[in-house]
Chains A and B, each alone.
Chain A
Amino acid sequence: MTRAQIQLAALAAVVCLAVAPFVLSPFSITLMNYIGIYSLVAIGLALLTGVGGIVSFGQAAFVGVAAYATAWISALNGYSPWLGLLFGVALTCSVAAILGVVTLRLQGHFLSLSTVAWGLAIGFLFGNVEGLGRFNGIASIPPISFGPYALVTSSQIYFLIWGIVAVVLVLGYNMLDSRLGRAMRALRGGNTLVESLGINAFRIKLATFVIAAFLASLSGWLYAHLSRFISPGPFDAGMGIEYLMMSMVGGAGSLLGGVVGAAIVTLLKNSVQDYLPLIAKGASGQLEIVAFSALFILFLQWARQGIVPFVAHYLPKAKRERPQPAPPLPRRSQPAPGELLLKVDGAERRFGGLVAVNNVSFEVRSGEILAVIGPNGAGKSTMFNCLTGALRVNKGEIVFAGRPITRDAQSRIAKAGIARTFQHVKLRPRMSLLENVMLGTYARTRTGLFAGAFRLNQREEASARHEALMQLERVGLGDKPFELAGNLPLGNQRILEIARALAADPALLVLDEPAAGLRRQEKLRLAELLRSLRADHLTILIVEHDMEFVMSLVDRIVVLDFGSKLCEGPPSAIRSDERVQEAYLGGVA
């Protein structure tokens, strides 16, 4: 599908939605209104759960905070619903920000459990606060009005609801296709990679969380002024699950899936209410929840991926054009060849009683390839993790480009100009080669959330895209930039990681066992690539196991054994060093 075809399909959808209230019955319009309102929450959850990998059971509580806020402002205190919107959004986003700051550092299922906890706590609060009408709720909420024109009937508020949904979808897709959106999509699959790209994973998570809460608050505001009456019921834990269900049914990770999921779940629920009484008279209320849960469980068992990705699989792939040449991104000033770039001074790292790295010192000079080698358990990987900030040294100092980085977080070290690859390849398999490499440009670009959502960033975006393509071509992967990274063989995945690191315009490239698991031909290609990078005056530090690979490639070698530095020198000297031979081959009898 071309861009024009996608736009045509979107236009057709908009026209259908616009005509709908003139064709449909009032009941159907009301149903459509609720679908629109639920869609907003589900879109937020698609972002949070599908894109960011944070499963939240508590979105209904956010809807409730905004609904109660606007009801309190407009029904109980007599102010305009628009003030209610401001207050509701501000309150919800503040609550979300506080909860996010407190809980988003939690890992995996701990995080999801915390959403159950605050979801329940907030839900119970609605029914138990004196000023909010307790379980009786708040009635006679005024309608939203534009000047004298009040949105009283369901066909009047219809356009407001679906207008908001359409705007949210457009802005959401824009944002996902921007710098921050790529960072969000990279969250799924762990923090290590994200941090190593100079991205503050916590801040991205917090932003995603607050955006999802913001969408929930819009939904809560619309809900309160559509139904004109609120009680704790629609914001309880059960509804939180239902929202999650909507986004999963539609296809978590797809914004459009949020709308589709909301529509399917709402319509299904409606028809279950219609047909169950025919099957089991008098017990329909109970059976409804049973049937619903059973359907959800079956869905999770058999079609976890969701409807929109399933359908998209059968649609023709979007044809994308190769990035056009664009002005280059700003480059950092590279150190002069031969200058001292990295100095490790007396580094020590303990794990309990084990000293993994013991008083290790070495220097890396600009323009050289230095290898850190050693037998298994020599402390290479620990040393590596200390350099890149994944671990802290207990003693000693690490200075990079004249600045101590001993205590810096991973993302700050990455920003300072150290780009890394991983021993176990860390890519985002569902993103294209181009997008994976564009992740590397994160620290060199500055487009924010709003600029991304409103597409005010097109110049920088074009530059980043072009830079990524250039790096892909530089490493020899430039022929299929839109291929998914997961489809590459391991050798090329390692090379792709190098391209991503190069896109960060690093002063020092650090490679963690780049030859591990590669076949001979792939190793030769990799060595060739690294040589060409040295010819471009890039400084490279390799932690490696494979002697043959290292010996023919590097300028100098540091040998570690049992956590201590054994010796240091050019490959020829290391090859003939008796201590090294003993460490690798055992003592000569």
Chain B
Amino acid sequence: MTSDIAAILGIDGIATGAVYALVAIGTVLIFTVTRVIFIPFGDIAALTALTLAALDAKRFPGTGALVVILACLATLIEIISLLRAGEPRLLPRALAFYLVLPLAVVGAAWLTMRLDPPLAVRLVLALMLIMPISPLLDRIVFRPIADGTVLLLLTVSVALHFALVGLGLLFFGPEGVRTEPLTSFSMELAGVLISGQTLLIVIAALVFSGLLYLFFDFTLVGKSLRATAVNRTGSRLMGIRPARAGTIAYLLGSLMAGVSGILIAPVNTVFYDSGFLIGLKAFVGAIVGGMTSYPGAAIGAVGVGILESFASFESSALKDVIVFSLLIPILIWRSLASLHSEEEIEE
């Protein structure tokens, strides 16, 4: 391997890694606030790419129908649980939040579609259509078992991933998509050609992690999220609603996953089931950060990207085997590094 090839592989790896980093940061965010290891994040990224491709092709994406179905389900569950709890006065708010808001988003997207909007608007539309999905899934799937063990939540999350893959196939079909590049700019750095897309990916990753940092350190909502992550009961006593913190975490996480989906769509062909590998590799990165550290997760994810890039040069067939085998030593290192208190398993 010459240094030229190494440089190209390195840059390629950093770009892939930056995409994973966005998803990894979202994974850490959700895990710390809700203790859910949200495997379906990769699927959210893939669905965003598919949504954008559908919008580009002037078709209304199946994501709209998905959001409507999930909104109806979530509303139904919310109504039942509110009536059971004997709090019908909260119904209007629940309806507004779980039914009207998502439907309004879908409606607005549908109307905007008629006007044949430019690319920038289509990007926003794709993100808007994607963002309600995970908070609604949270309401439907995770909230009833929010107090379960991490393992139970993980099992449910894995099952949810398979449901989403099935829905992806149902709504978007088996064809892969590749969207038009967001920029045609390219530059040469030390003799290596760097495409504008690569730059964009890295910049987007940096900007979004920076924004997240500002959000957590300088806003009250961000601080309440951190408090929930540290101690659910304690923050509940301080008037923070863990459910609301969870919703915000899911919204933010979906935004990150959505952006990564948009960024990866012009570079790689995305299929309905591409999300699993994106999600899992991001997840390997998140584990490098011990599932708690955002910079750790980002660095880990970039590392996974670089490793994958070099591994696919050496043996493209075995690159996934290499990446996932590597997870085991990382897990052992993390497990040794973390102070493990004895986790009592529910009986």
- In the complex, A37 Cα to B65 Cα: how many Å? 40
**Residue among A102, A109, A192 making CB contact with B154, cutoff 8 Å:** A109
- Asked if A110 contacts B347 (CB within 8 A), the reply is no
A33 nearest CB across to chain B (Å): 25
- Asked if B170 contacts A53 (CB within 8 A), the reply is no
For residue A117, which residue of chain B has the nearest CB?
B327
C-beta contact mask, B336-347 vs A, less than 8 Å → 1, else 0?
001010111101
B317 neighbours in A (Cβ, 8 Å): 128
A291-299, A403-411, A442-450: which lies at the interface: A291-299
- Asked if B347 contacts A188 (CB within 8 A), the reply is yes
Q: In residues 193-215 of chain B, which contact A (Cβ within 8 Å)?
A: none
For residue B315, which residue of chain A has the nearest CB?
A128
- Asked if B154 contacts A297 (CB within 8 A), the reply is no
Q: Say yes or no for A103: interface residue by CB 8 A criterion.
A: yes
Q: In residues 182-241 of chain A, which contact B (Cβ within 8 Å)?
A: 188-192, 237-238, 241
- Asked if A103 contacts B151 (CB within 8 A), the reply is no
- In the complex, A301 Cα to B141 Cα: how many Å? 8
- Asked if B166 contacts A293 (CB within 8 A), the reply is yes
Summed over the interface, the residue pairs from A and B with CB atoms below 8 Å come to a total of 131
B343 neighbours in A (Cβ, 8 Å): 107-108, 190
Q: Say yes or no for A432: interface residue by CB 8 A criterion.
A: no
**Residue among A55, A300, A428 making CB contact with B156, cutoff 8 Å:** A300
**Residue among A113, A189, A300 making CB contact with B327, cutoff 8 Å:** A113
- In the complex, A191 Cα to B165 Cα: how many Å? 38
- Asked if B159 contacts A293 (CB within 8 A), the reply is yes
- Asked if A102 contacts B166 (CB within 8 A), the reply is no
**Residue among B170, B287, B320, B345 making CB contact with A286, cutoff 8 Å:** B170
**Residue among B159, B325, B345 making CB contact with A241, cutoff 8 Å:** B159
A246 nearest CB across to chain B (Å): 13
- In the complex, A237 Cα to B347 Cα: how many Å? 27
- Asked if B328 contacts A124 (CB within 8 A), the reply is no
Q: Say yes or no for B158: interface residue by CB 8 A criterion.
A: yes
Q: Say yes or no for A335: interface residue by CB 8 A criterion.
A: no
Q: Say yes or no for A304: interface residue by CB 8 A criterion.
A: yes
**Residue among B144, B162, B344 making CB contact with A238, cutoff 8 Å:** B162
A87 neighbours in B (Cβ, 8 Å): none
Q: In residues 307-335 of chain B, which contact A (Cβ within 8 Å)?
A: 317-318, 320-321, 324-325, 327-328, 331-332, 334-335
- Asked if B318 contacts A297 (CB within 8 A), the reply is no
**Residue among A103, A190, A244 making CB contact with B331, cutoff 8 Å:** A103
Most chain B CB within a 10 A radius of its CB, from A55, A248, A429: A55
For residue B341, which residue of chain A has the nearest CB?
A107
- Asked if B320 contacts A124 (CB within 8 A), the reply is yes
C-beta contact mask, A102-127 vs B, less than 8 Å → 1, else 0?
11011111101110111011001100
- In the complex, A317 Cα to B114 Cα: how many Å? 68
A113 neighbours in B (Cβ, 8 Å): 37, 154, 287, 327, 331
Q: Say yes or no for A289: interface residue by CB 8 A criterion.
A: yes
Most chain B CB within a 10 A radius of its CB, from A110, A114, A118, A290: A110
**Residue among B144, B324, B342 making CB contact with A117, cutoff 8 Å:** B324
Q: Say yes or no for B91: interface residue by CB 8 A criterion.
A: no
A399 neighbours in B (Cβ, 8 Å): none
**Residue among A53, A120, A287 making CB contact with B345, cutoff 8 Å:** A53
A248 neighbours in B (Cβ, 8 Å): 155
Q: In residues 147-199 of chain B, which contact A (Cβ within 8 Å)?
A: 150-152, 154-156, 158-160, 162-163, 165-167, 169-170
Q: In residues 17-48 of chain A, which contact B (Cβ within 8 Å)?
A: none
B152 neighbours in A (Cβ, 8 Å): 300, 304
- In the complex, A191 Cα to B341 Cα: how many Å? 11
**Residue among B162, B324, B334, B347 making CB contact with A429, cutoff 8 Å:** B347
- Asked if A297 contacts B156 (CB within 8 A), the reply is yes
- Asked if A109 contacts B151 (CB within 8 A), the reply is yes
Q: Say yes or no for A288: interface residue by CB 8 A criterion.
A: yes
B156 neighbours in A (Cβ, 8 Å): 297, 300-301
Most chain A CB within a 10 A radius of its CB, from B150, B162, B169: B162
**Residue among B145, B170, B284, B334 making CB contact with A301, cutoff 8 Å:** B145
Q: Say yes or no for A283: interface residue by CB 8 A criterion.
A: yes
B255 neighbours in A (Cβ, 8 Å): none
A245 neighbours in B (Cβ, 8 Å): 159
Q: Say yes or no for B280: interface residue by CB 8 A criterion.
A: yes
- Asked if A112 contacts B162 (CB within 8 A), the reply is no
Known contacts A117-B331, A120-B280, A121-B321; A57 and B162 CB within 8 A of each other: no
Known contacts A112-B154, A244-B155; A103 and B145 CB within 8 A of each other: no
Can you show 5 pairs from A to B with CB atoms below 8 A apart? A108-B151, A237-B276, A238-B162, A297-B141, A297-B160
User: Taking beta carbons and an 8 Å cutoff, which residues of B are in contact with A?
Assistant: 37, 141, 144-145, 150-152, 154-156, 158-160, 162-163, 165-167, 169-170, 276, 280, 284, 287, 317-318, 320-321, 324-325, 327-328, 331-332, 334-335, 338, 340, 342-345, 347
